[in-house]
Structure 1
């Protein structure tokens, strides 16, 4: 009897998935837009939103909860037991950028500016001399909120002319996060308090004074695009990590539609990964554990059922990783060189910056084999510090076996990143196989 995993009858995704990713990136300039777009796609697939403050039932079908910039969605198959394990795709919705401060109006020398704070670890130079829009969430006086997206050239962080900084040739570009990164958005000799928010109220059709709070951020208005001689690459914003959010949403919808599931498939897309995940919407918060436990208890389960379900649960933490850079190949491990369009990567770090171990590798390898998808391995150069993901946090907080994977890209944390055009759909096909395995 063969021990090889059964192949998927059909791979559900092809290059059309990558084109759809480009649309998703363009429509999701903030975590709040990303979860709203993911929820809309799940609604079309038959999922329904449940409120955290309401009582939950144990009926089968697709469900999801929204909290700020995070979404947890799951599908309960017919006949699922209280102790049925979960198969989780983990991702995050936030990306490094420039975020608007509580007192945003500033300026000097005839220029009007917007005061911003650096979010996460962006490549600051990538935000210079780039046409920027403004997007996020407005909190209103009546307690509701409104999404806003000004998707046209509105702001710009102007770089100092070379004539005024000849030392750049010897010292390189040196940017002060406070002094050099404040964008301009107009002309004027006086700074009017409330000017930016009044502008946003007008743009969104709100009454003056209706906005009492905001979570706003800049984004490049240049749309995603195919690149390369044969259009084999994709350039675009926020691939870290909306590429995985998009793939996970598509995989969850596809797996639930195909049926015959032995596990409860879950998408867990968190906010605030780029600054440590310590938030009520972050992976280090209680959201995922609360949702999984309530799902068990809603189906009549006990704490014993919860323990059994968690013990057999597996999470694939999907986040972008580093493709080998042709101009800096020495920065990579000499025996691990992930390439664009080489398939998803398995991310390994024995110091637990990634959560993958040998048993996790076997789970991922089986999913890729079943999907007919090639895969690669990423390990950091021993002399270079290794990044991290929600993977170790998920494993440690919930006691869930977790595997770190993703897609290899260039220009990570830039305002505009680069990946192979095949890798997004190869990842999505592997995720479907994982959920159905």
Structure 2
């Protein structure tokens, strides 16, 4: 697949995935179309040799795996991990605000979001809605308004002269989006959601909305930009880019190999949930794949996890924020992330293995170490490594503006990452 074709598919995937729920649904649908069988954690699993399966938890996390041939586990499992969530603005439980004749919704900041870019954007609303149906049963569906229905207007500089001097943004008072005039009719979010449910799901005509998990998102579609089309710009590149690369690589994996893709929710807030990397989801699945505890440890010790999460490219206007010997560049290949305090799980052996993977497919590779006088972010890598004891390498595509409402990657880097992960799933031996 060419870079152009791959990036268009990535753009389509991002557009279809405004929330972790939608990202998981998109991954699930693509896997089903590729012949994977959906499993239910509440049922017994009848797994067949050579089979391909997927399972979801909380509608926002997914694990997909293929069992490979008869000797699959003796060679270890090739695992790729990513996360489905991104920093955003989540709607509060009782959000309605009527101020100055305008109808607004109160929001809570999810994750470490860059807040300034959220102003003056055309926003829509999507997420999961739970309701009581006509028969009195509780059910849930995903909704997506798709069209721009909200905006967070900036205050004019004439009324805010210090705004360019680093004035802080108050998440409680400055961020509620404006959706409409609050004149007749009186507006109610749950009624609005019931109407949208019926519009998207005709079988929910009698739905009585009980609760919801909703996120605002930018409606501007992804785009390849730059004078020479060097850049790929989109929302939620962190970390849907890695989810897409992992999925694309898995769908091209050799049927003989034992391969697994895990995409979990809640990474941006620490991963401590039933469906996060610090929860039992992956362990539960591995226990069902390999019931014998001793054999499971043996298999895990033959396995390797590639934790794929975006890396910080060196910004030309802020180059001093990087260690001068570790400034990853856009379109220069995936980045190996290293931290001696185990904020990343890479060690010398796993880094060497990943470098060899890149060399085998002629993909450039870079490394990142945070400045010694700055704090370091983290990933699902150390969490998964500490829970499973699996060897791990933390890597990612270099990007600008991480955690902004719109992020920027090199247009060649999604292809580089996908190619290396594809080779990883197909490699004959692990370290």
Residue 419 of structure 1, aligned match among 384, 409, 427: 409
Quote the Cα distance in structure 1 between the aligned partners of 2:2 and 2:78: 20
Which secondary structure does the structure 2 equivalent of 1:155 belong to?
Answer: coil
CA–CA distance in structure 2, aligned partners of residues 286 and 267 of structure 1: 15
Corresponding residue number in structure 2 for 1:150: 145
Q: Where in structure 2 are the equivalents of 1:62-211 lying within 5 Å?
A: 62-67=52-57, 68-80=59-71, 83=74, 85-141=76-132, 142-169=137-164, 171-189=165-183, 192=186, 195-205=188-198, 206-207=204-205, 210-211=208-209
Q: CA deviation at 1:31?
A: 0.5
Contact 2:54 2:63 in 1 (8 A): yes
The whole-number CA distance in structure 2 between the counterparts of 1:249 and 1:390 is 17
| Structure 2 unaligned regions, length at least 5 | 199-203
**Selected match of 2:255 from 252, 259, 278:** 259
Q: SS at the partner of 1:382?
A: coil
1:358 paired residue number: 348
Compute the displacement of 1:371 (Å): 2.1
Cα distance between partner residues in 2 of 1:158 and 1:80: 60
> Residue 430 of structure 1 corresponds to which residue in structure 2?
420
1:239 aligned to which of 219, 237, 240? 237
Corresponding residue of 1:22: 11
The answer to whether the 8 A contact 1:110-1:189 is kept is yes
> Structure 1 pair 352/82, CA: closer, same or farther in 2 (3 Å)?
closer
Aligned to 1:408: 398
CA contact (8 A) 2:72 2:256 kept: no
Residue matched to 1:379: 369
Distance 1:406 1:82 in 2: 26
Which residue of 2 is the match for residue 44 of structure 1? 33
Q: How many residues align?
A: 416
2:286 to 274, 284, 292: 292
Contact 2:309 2:396 in 1 (8 A): yes
Compute the displacement of 1:304 (Å): 1.6
**Contact kept in structure 1, 2:327 and 2:368, CA below 8 Å:** yes
Aligned counterpart, 1:9: none
The correspondence for 2:212, drawn from 207, 214, 218, is: 214
Distance between the aligned counterparts of 1:31 and 1:201, measured in 2?
21
Q: Verify: 1:34 aligned to 2:23, yes or no.
A: yes
The residue aligned with 2:201 is none
The 8 Å contact of residues 129 and 212 in structure 2, kept in 1 or not, is answered as yes
Q: Secondary structure at the match of 1:308?
A: helix
Structure 1 residue 92, shift from structure 2 partner: 0.2
Q: Structure 2 length normalisation: TM-score?
A: 0.94
**Alpha-carbon shift at residue 236 of structure 1 (Å):** 0.5
Indicate conservation of the 8 Å contact 1:107/1:191, yes or no: no
What is the aligned-residue RMSD (CA, Å)?
1.5
User: 1-side partners of 2:167 and 2:51: how far apart?
Assistant: 54
Long gaps (5+) in structure 1: 1-11
C-alpha separation between the residues in 1 aligned to 2:346 and 2:72? 28
TM-score, length basis structure 1: 0.92
In structure 2, the CA distance between the partners of 1:332 and 1:191, relative to structure 1 (3 Å rule), is: farther
Shift of 1:143: 2.6
Tell me, what secondary structure is at the counterpart of 1:342?
coil
Q: What is the SS of the residue equivalent to 1:152?
A: coil
Mapped contact 1:134–1:219 kept (Cα < 8 A): yes
Deviation at residue 61 of structure 1 after TM alignment: 1.3
Give the superposition deviation at 1:84.
Answer: 5.1
* Cα distance change on mapping 1:84 and 1:53 into 2, 3 Å: farther
Deviations 1:175-211 (A, max 9, x none): 1010101111011158957x12211211231436522
Q: What pairs with 1:301-312 in structure 2 (closer than 5 Å)?
A: 302-312=292-302
Partner SS for 1:215: strand
Give the secondary structure class of the aligned counterpart of 2:420: helix
Deviation at 1:296, TM superposition (A): 1.2
